[in-house]
């Protein structure tokens, strides 16, 4: 069974630029999550999708972050414009039953 | 809203030493509890989980955790650690039923010295 795929693995941008991350969940998993993990902290949920609908985006900074999940499969997370404090690892996870989550390798973002 | 506290942020042990990592959560209702592990260079993966039933749960690689409801705790244990257990360990909690938002602790870095 293929795991959760994320790209790119690494991204370096300057502040005020925009960036997008892509996630392909495990086939058949209805629930998809995006997390932000800042160095030295645990993952923080940014947004959770159930199929292509948003279940929770209470911690998503909506003035600069956006996410979509077209057709209930792949998802993209965008930051525009990026700030220095957005430097983090962005993790995507999926679940078939909203209990056990399977994580991708993450995208490490450095904002200079 | 639930929260998770992990008290030991960095633990260093010699091989064969016993391990106990603390995890406490704050929520008055029924919860699901998890320990996830991230080995160097690898993805976060599930180590073990508790949903209901026997409060002592066993996971992969000889790890176990005990749910003590009265103490709001879900501590992770292993009788004898190995160098390959060097990793970062995250405790997580969801509220049972309905929408199950996951809250993660800050993580504990375990370093096992050969």
Length of chain A: 112
* Cβ contact A99–B107 (<8 Å): no
* Cβ contact A56–B45 (<8 Å): no
In whole angstroms, what is the distance from residue A24 CA to residue A34 CA? 12
Q: Which residues in chain B touch residue A59, judged by CB atoms under 8 angstroms apart?
A: none
* Cβ contact A101–B46 (<8 Å): yes
Q: What is the mean pLDDT of residues B57-70?
A: 94
In whole angstroms, what is the distance from residue B69 CA to residue A83 CA? 41
Nearest of A67, A39, A41 to residue A52 by alpha carbon: A67
Å between A14 CA and nearest CA of chain B = 26
Share of chain A above pLDDT 90, in %: 85
Q: Check the CA dihedral B12-B112-A45-B75 and report its sign.
A: negative
Of B32, B101, B105, the CB nearest to A45: B101
* Cβ contact A42–B43 (<8 Å): no
Q: Which residues in chain B touch residue A101, judged by CB atoms under 8 angstroms apart?
A: 46, 102
In whole angstroms, what is the distance from residue B109 CA to residue B10 CA? 5
Q: What is the mean pLDDT of residues B65-80?
A: 96
Q: Which residues in chain B touch residue A45, judged by CB atoms under 8 angstroms apart?
A: 101-103
The DSSP code sequence of A19-80 is EEEEEE--TT--EEEEEEE-TTS--EEEEEEETTEEEE-TTS-TTTEEEE-GGGS-EEEEES
Q: What is the model's pLDDT at position B97?
A: 65
Q: What is the model's pLDDT at position A71?
A: 84
Of B45, B51, B105, the CB nearest to A103: B45
Query: Residue B101 corresponds to which tokens in the numbers above?
Result: 């938002």
In whole angstroms, what is the distance from residue B77 CA to residue B59 CA? 10
Å between B87 CA and nearest CA of chain A = 13
Which residue shows structure tokens 């997008």? A20
Identify the helix (H) or strand (E) that includes residue B24. Answer: strand B24-26
Nearest CA in chain A to B36: A101
Share the mean pLDDT of chain A: 94
Q: Is residue A109 very low, low, confident or very high in pLDDT (cuts 50, 70, 90)?
A: very high
Q: Do the beta carbons of residue B104 and residue B37 sit within 8 Å?
A: no
* Cβ contact A3–B43 (<8 Å): yes
Q: How far is CA A12 from CA A20, A79, B97, in A?
A: 12, 13, 40
DSSP secondary structure code for residue B62 in this structure:
G
Q: What is the model's pLDDT at position B107?
A: 95
Q: How far is CA A54 from CA A51, B7, B11, B108, in A?
A: 8, 33, 38, 31
* Cβ contact A43–B4 (<8 Å): no
């Amino acid at each position: 069974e293929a795991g959760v795929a994320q790209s790119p693995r690494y991204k370096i941008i300057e502040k005020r630029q925009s960036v997008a991350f892509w996630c392909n969940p495990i086939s058949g998993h209805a629930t998809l999550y995006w997390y932000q993990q800042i160095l030295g902290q645990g993952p923080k949920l940014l947004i959770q999708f159930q199929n292509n609908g948003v279940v929770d985006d209470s911690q998503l900074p909506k003035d600069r972050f956006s996410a979509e999940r077209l057709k209930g499969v792949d998802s993209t997370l965008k930051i525009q414009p990026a700030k220095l404090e957005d430097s983090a690892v962005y993790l995507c996870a999926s679940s078939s039953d909203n209990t056990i989550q399977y994580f991708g390798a993450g995208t490490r973002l450095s904002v200079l | 809203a639930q929260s998770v506290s992990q008290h030991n942020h960095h633990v260093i042990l010699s091989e064969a030493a016993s391990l106990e990592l603390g995890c406490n959560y704050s929520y008055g209702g029924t919860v699901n509890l998890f320990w996830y592990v991230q080995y160097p260079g690898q993805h976060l993966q599930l180590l073990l989980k508790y949903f209901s039933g026997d409060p002592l749960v066993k996971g992969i690689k000889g790890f176990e955790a005990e749910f003590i409801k009265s103490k709001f705790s879900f501590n992770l244990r292993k009788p004898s650690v190995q160098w390959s257990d060097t990793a970062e360990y995250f405790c997580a909690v969801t509220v049972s039923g309905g929408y199950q938002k996951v809250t993660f602790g800050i993580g504990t870095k375990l370093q096992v010295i050969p």
